[in-house]
Amino acid sequence: MVGLRIGLGFDIHRLEPASEPDAGIALAGLRLPCPWRVIAHSDGDVVLHALCDALLGAAAAGDLGEHFPDSDPAHRGRPSAWFLERVRALPALAPWRIANVDINVIAEVPRLAPHKPALRARLAELLALPLAAVSLKARTHEGLDAIGERRAIAAQAAVLLMAREAA
């Protein structure tokens, strides 16, 4: 077993204007108020979904849909922190520890700059990592494609795993 593994994850979900007074979206395990809602089977947290796929990829353990198919009614509305907890507990990840994570959120809405410190802190908490090992950046698509037209939100995640005996 090589002492380092890199994983890459991606997720995208459709957005639509919300009519509910308590509208908002889930990102990095937090609920951000905004006049939009994510169309998804679970809570649609693109950050945590991309992070799960990056962890699974680094451990060569498949992808999120293989472990938790969206065809399973048990996952309807499920918080994505639940998926992350289960992914981290998989035997394939047992020989590894997370060294760091780097997340890109690609969205026109909501504006993420004021939320970035809280999002990073929540990721660090969920992963039991120091804040210095968690990076979260926000990007727009400058009005291009579905993301730029406020019809979608996406996230990319990269993780570095280190063998526990190399730690």
Q: What tens-digit pLDDT sequence spans the chain (167 residues)?
A: 579 999 999 999 999 998 876 688 999 999 998 889 899 988 999 999 999 999 999 999 999 888 888 888 887 878 999 999 999 999 999 999 999 999 999 999 889 999 999 999 999 999 999 999 999 999 998 989 999 998 999 999 999 999 997 55
The pTM of this model reads 0.93
Give the list of residues 6+ apart from residue 70 with CB closer than 8 angstroms, or none. 41, 42
Domain range annotation of the chain: 4-166
The pLDDT of residue 23 is: 80
Rg (Cα) of the chain, in Å, rounded? 16
So what's the architecture of 4-166 in CATH?
A: 2-Layer Sandwich (3.30)
Q: In Å, how far are 48, 62, 142, 155, 165 from 27, measured between CA atoms? A: 7, 23, 21, 10, 33
